[in-house]
Amino acid sequence: MFKIFKIRKQIDVPQAPAGGEMPRPDPMLQLDQERQKQLAREEESKHKQLLEEEKAFQQGVVSIRDIIAPAAMRVESHYLMLNDLYVRTMFVMTYPRYVTIGWFAPIINESLTLDIAMFFYPMDIALVLKQLRNKVGVMEAEIIANHEKGAPRDPIAETALRDIEGLRDGLTQGTEKFFQFALYVTLYSKSEEELNLASDQIENLLGMQLIYSRRALYQSEQGFNSTLPLGNDELSISTNMNSSPIASSFPFVSSELTSEDGILYGINRHNNSLILFDRFSLQNANMVVFATSGAGKSYAVKLEILRAMMLGTDVIVIDPENEYQHLSEAVSGAYINVSLNSESKLNPFDLPRGIGGDTKPEDILRSAVITLKGLIRLMIGDVTNAEDSILDRAILETYAKKDISASSDLSNITPPLMSDLEDILLNMEGGEDMALRIKKYTEGTFAGLFNSPTNIRVDNQLIIFSIRDLEDELRPIAMYVVINYIWNIIRSEMKRRILVVDEAWIMMRHEDSAKFMFALVKRCRKYYLGVTTITQDVNDFLTSPYGNAIVTNSSIQLLLKQSPAAVNLIQKTFMLTEGEKYLLLESGLGEGIFFAGNKHAAIKVQASYAEHQIITSDPRQLLEIEEAKKEFEEAMIAENSGEFSGPSRANLMTGRPLTANQAANQMSGPMASR
């Protein structure tokens, strides 16, 4: 029984004086009180007026909330309309007994616009253990009862019992925690049909892993609110799960492209790891490089060439703009200039010795005839079906003129020349017109380029064919002849090689050269060759059917900075997400996306100081290197003559860039030691 105490407060009441009259109030005091009340009322009025003005001002200010708020929203039973977008939320209902690490990665990598929300509600371990203990008791009693009845063993019940016991051990030892886990996915589409297709796609991807999902029917608004970045779970549909499978659900999938062998392509921008890869470890060693002018595509390829040579790979380059000469000088490569005035000559009628399945002379001869027909069409333009038949017979007779037939020994032959084909066509009925069109390549303006025996040697680890000095009309023809010559070399001797075709869009402009390029990319794998195709004109390359086929037959793709005009075609071809699309638009020099097989990662191409001096294409830096080279040579001459005072290599300590030869000398030590 509680006692309640009442406390009476003493109030001091002024007592009247002995005479019985109360004192009169002071008039001045009353006046001061009234003035104070008036001032207080005025202050309150000013404050209210200030608040109203502030409220009116705030109503005219545009806030972030006003900017991001949708213009309209309509809630339907199956979806929600947000402006012109159709929105639907899906939730995961049940999981299988086992889930693999990264099971959620296919959803994240899908080319869909979506929001993902995960909610984790920790549970009291003591309560979970109590419930699991009761469950174990019930299951053991059921198993024992079935055993006493003589019923066959129930493997499902026994498996569930083992799983519960394992979970109890993990919770007791502290290696596991227990949660209620809610997973929601909100999809955005431009039409109801696209929304239904996207929903089916997500359900199929989850269903393949025995994870079943449902669509939030009559809860479209609650589902949308649950995936907003507010942390409000308005759906409240969760599943009991311990920490290990929850950890496998995390969407932070980091692409790793690091292997035990290969060369360094760059830095992984996702996690700053190294992208080490061996292109010859994939199903084919082909590579395509797409970028705008000045984005660093030639820089990245030259860096790969330099590092691949350290591992013993032979490299052949077709250089349309003289960008690889500096690299050739640094590593003592062979630099062959192909032009009308050059002494280097290539004969299109050369035949390879043949290795593997191409050792039969008739197969080699048949392949040479097909290749030459494509070259002639490039040189003289389109031919009719009748002319094509005449040209086929004329090429065979041209070889026969030099005693080359299907039964000849190709190791000891003298190939014919273009002028021999001209003579054969002149003496054939219907071949006179083609002979006249070929004449400018044998006696006319372009004489000498394709009408001489081959006089170049290719016994070097790095061989570069320069076609910079050729006229635009001759460039596709010259690239065709050079690639055919390289192809003959490759088929004659099996070695690990890389062929780099820079500005490959030149080949894609003509059907015959594009077809030849595609055939080379498709067949090179069995000759231990990897073809690197580089282009800056993405639209011309990918709009060609052979260009798309080359991309499909290339296991490695390097996409650097793209122009807004080409990025949509790139996105469609490589199935990029919107985020990856904008990454390519905003990438800096040497930054992009590196694809290797089914994996890809954002890359930053990184070179050492010595490598940069060798492979740079910056005209300003090239001029500085040439200037430093001249100063170094002058200093060495002065030192040898005794007129130079001070250290012999003092100019190298001034911070000037290294010359190509100096950088190569610095690198020769580590290369030799390897």
Q: What pLDDT digit, counting tens, does each position of 579-615 carry?
A: 788 888 888 888 999 988 878 888 999 999 889 888 8
Element at 182 (helix H, strand E): strand 178-189
pLDDT category of residue 642 using cuts at 50, 70 and 90: low
For residue 7, is pLDDT > 80?
no
pLDDT category of residue 144 using cuts at 50, 70 and 90: confident
For residue 271, is pLDDT > 80?
no
Residues 6+ apart with CB under 8 A from 268: 255, 256, 257, 258, 274, 275, 601, 602, 603
pLDDT category of residue 653 using cuts at 50, 70 and 90: very low
- Calculate mean pLDDT across residues 96-111: 79
> Residue 669 has what pLDDT?
38
- Calculate mean pLDDT across residues 242-246: 84
Residue 258 DSSP one-character state: B
Residue 86, both tokens: 């159709």
Question: Scanning the structure block, which residue is given the tokens 């030149």?
Answer: 506
> Residue 508 has what pLDDT?
81
> Residue 24 has what pLDDT?
61
With vertex at residue 65, the alpha carbon angle to CA 59 and CA 69, rounded to the nearest 5 degrees, is 110
pLDDT category of residue 252 using cuts at 50, 70 and 90: low
Residues 6+ apart with CB under 8 A from 655: none
Burial of 637 (0-12, 13-18, 19+ CB in 10 A): exposed
> Residue 672 has what pLDDT?
34
Residue 153 DSSP one-character state: P
Question: pLDDT tens across 551-562, in order?
Answer: 888 989 999 998
Torsion of CA 306, 311, 313, 318, to 10 degrees: -10
pLDDT category of residue 379 using cuts at 50, 70 and 90: confident
For residue 651, is pLDDT > 60?
no
Q: Identify the residue with better confidence: 22 or 110.
A: 110
- Strand ranges of the sheet holding 287-290, from the earlier edge strand across to the other edge: 274-277, 263-268, 599-604, 591-596, 556-560, 287-290, 529-535, 497-501, 314-319, 462-466, 334-337
Interatomic CA distance for residues 440 and 448, integer angstroms: 10
> Residue 643 has what pLDDT?
52
Among 471, 106, 500, 168, residue whose Cα is nearest residue 303: 500
Do 239 and 95 form a contact (C-beta atoms < 8 A)?
yes
Cβ atoms within 10 A of the Cβ of 452, count?
Answer: 16
Residue 404, both tokens: 């080359």
Residue 156, both tokens: 């499902």
Residue 646 DSSP one-character state: S
Question: pLDDT tens across 498-545, in order?
Answer: 999 988 888 787 787 788 888 889 888 888 999 999 988 888 788 888
- Mean pLDDT over each residue of the chain, to the nearest integer: 82
Sign, CA torsion 420/423/428/429 = positive
- Calculate mean pLDDT across residues 214-240: 92
> Residue 662 has what pLDDT?
47
Instruction: Point out the least confidently predicted range of 45-54, 348-357, 383-392.
Output: 348-357
Residue 653 DSSP one-character state: G
Domains defined for the chain, CATH in brackets: 73-247 (no CATH), 255-334+461-617 (3.40.50.300), 347-453 (1.10.8.730), 618-673 (no CATH)
Among 437, 439, 459, residue whose Cα is nearest residue 447: 439
Which parts of 397-453 are beta strand (E)?
none
Interatomic CA distance for residues 580 and 562, integer angstroms: 11
Q: Identify the residue with better confidence: 470 or 214.
A: 214
Interatomic CA distance for residues 325 and 469, integer angstroms: 14
Do 593 and 584 form a contact (C-beta atoms < 8 A)?
yes
Residue 456, both tokens: 């170049």
> Residue 16 has what pLDDT?
52
Instruction: Point out the least confidently predicted range of 16-25, 232-241, 262-271, 662-671.
Output: 662-671
Interatomic CA distance for residues 200 and 196, integer angstroms: 6
Phi-psi region of 104 (alpha: psi -120 to 50; beta: other; left: phi over 0): alpha
Do 214 and 220 form a contact (C-beta atoms < 8 A)?
no
For residue 657, is pLDDT > 50?
no
Upper half-sphere CA count for residue 665 (Cβ side, 13 Å) = 5
Interatomic CA distance for residues 467 and 476, integer angstroms: 10
Helix axis angle for 125-148 and 155-173, nearest 10°, is 150
For the chain, percent of residues with pLDDT exceeding 70: 89
Centroid of chain to Cα 272: 15
- Calculate mean pLDDT across residues 336-355: 81
For residue 367, is pLDDT > 70?
yes
- Calculate mean pLDDT across residues 245-250: 80
With vertex at residue 370, the alpha carbon angle to CA 549 and CA 446, rounded to the nearest 5 degrees, is 100
> Residue 176 has what pLDDT?
86
Q: Which range is most confident: 63-77, 258-272, 295-309, 348-362? A: 295-309
Residue 320, both tokens: 């349309």
Do 118 and 247 form a contact (C-beta atoms < 8 A)?
no
DSSP assignment of 183-230: EEEEEEESSHHHHHHHHHHHHHHHHTTT-EEEE-TT-HHHHHHHTSTT
For residue 186, is pLDDT > 90?
yes
pLDDT category of residue 140 using cuts at 50, 70 and 90: confident
Element at 422 (helix H, strand E): helix 418-426
Among 209, 156, 219, 151, residue whose Cα is nearest residue 184: 219
Element at 593 (helix H, strand E): strand 591-596
> Residue 474 has what pLDDT?
83
Residue 290, both tokens: 């797409």
For residue 83, is pLDDT > 60?
yes
Q: Which range is most confident: 51-65, 207-221, 242-256? A: 207-221
